[in-house]
Amino acid sequence: MNESTQLFNAKMSCEKFSDEDAPFYTDRNSGKLKKELAQHRNCLLCSSSLQDLYLEKEGFSFVKCRDCNLVFVNPILNEEDTISLYEDGKTINNEIDVLFKEMNERVKSFDIAFKEIEKYINIGRMCDIGCGAGAALQAAKKRGWIVEGVEPCKKARKLISENFGITVKNELLHEDTFADGELDLVTVFQVIEHLVNPTKFLSRVYKILKPGGVLYLDCPNIDSLSCKLFRKNHVHFSGRVHLNYFTPQTITKMLESTGYKIIYSKTRVLDITISDLFRAILNLHPVHREGSNKVPRVFHKAFNMFDYILKPQLEKLIIKGKIKGSYLTVMAKK
Ligand SMILES: [Zn+2]
């Protein structure tokens, strides 16, 4: 597993929230989100109320803004129930345990991200928003950054404070979490897709950055080869947890509309295997990342061999910009 894949896997597990039984928010008759729990949103990028249906999955409707092409879930499960998912409970707590176990490996992969960041900003004061178990904070601290985290999960905050002596705040958007112009760097690793109002969030981050301060943001890319191949079967599409879906164009527009100057935007990692591709081509009910039992076992070794040989070549094509990777990384400046 290469470093970029490790970083990407580090936050992948938030996509395991699908419930086997009908979840509390689904209407048993219609199979859709219960009306009384639904929260409607205008486009988060241009405020338009004109949307076309993009796809439907697990009771959620994913729409595309007719004016700016942003894809988002509409309606979403109300804000209170959305946020509570990340604060406490079995799923998030198990998740944090897993992230803690993988700490050393994950610190190494974040170290690579900080090496890249430091080409654009001197080491200073930083905050990782949605810091999970704190691997990015650990990596930054080791490199000399003065670090603070923001994380809604109670268990994670307690563990990070006890084990690493790093302060982690709870509030994501409150005006008094940080003073205006306080930070040199804010990192946001796979968080923005989870937020009810990403524009408001980016505006708040802009305020707490120093002039010339840097935002490093990473999120899923729905313009990727794998999303195009697998459409609704791709794990990125999860209406309960992923509320916003970006392309290189829409994330750039949102950042520019909130005041940032883009340093660069690129895609990374191809989260499909040759086996996935075969399943897609043969139409073997491709359910991405949810088991390959539809493919006869005898093919598995051959697929693994193809992956071993071809995946590095595909990754090279992503770096050259010829194939669009599954994640977007954007660096922007205040
Ligand atoms: Zn729009």
Distance 70 CA to ligand 1 centre (A): 6
Q: What is the pLDDT of residues 101-156, one digit of tens each?
A: 888 888 999 999 999 999 999 999 999 999 988 999 999 999 999 999 999 888 88
SS3 of residue 331 by DSSP: strand
Report the domain count for the chain: 1
Distance 264 CA to ligand 1 centre (A): 22
**Portion of the chain with pLDDT greater than 70, in percent:** 85
**Host H or E run for residue 250:** helix 248-257
Distance 35 CA to ligand 1 centre (A): 24
Question: Looking at the predicted structure, is the pLDDT value of residue 6 above 70?
Answer: no
DSSP E strands: which ranges in 146-259?
146-150, 168-169, 183-189, 209-220, 244-245
Look at residue 11 in the predicted model and tell me its pLDDT: 38
Question: Looking at the predicted structure, is the pLDDT value of residue 282 above 70?
Answer: no
Distance 80 CA to ligand 1 centre (A): 24
SS3 of residue 19 by DSSP: coil
Question: Looking at the predicted structure, is the pLDDT value of residue 7 above 80?
Answer: no
Over residues 284-296, mean pLDDT: 50
Distance 48 CA to ligand 1 centre (A): 5
Alpha-carbon distance values, 75 to 33, 64, 327 (Å): 8, 12, 24
Distance 183 CA to ligand 1 centre (A): 30
Distance 209 CA to ligand 1 centre (A): 26
Distance 174 CA to ligand 1 centre (A): 25
Distance 46 CA to ligand 1 centre (A): 4
304: domain CATH number? 3.40.50.150
Residue 236's CB is within 10 A of a number of other CB atoms, namely 22
Decide if 137 contacts 160 (C-beta within 8 A).
yes
**Domain hosting residue 118, numbered range:** 3-333
Look at residue 16 in the predicted model and tell me its pLDDT: 41
The pTM of the full predicted model, rounded to 2 decimals, is: 0.85
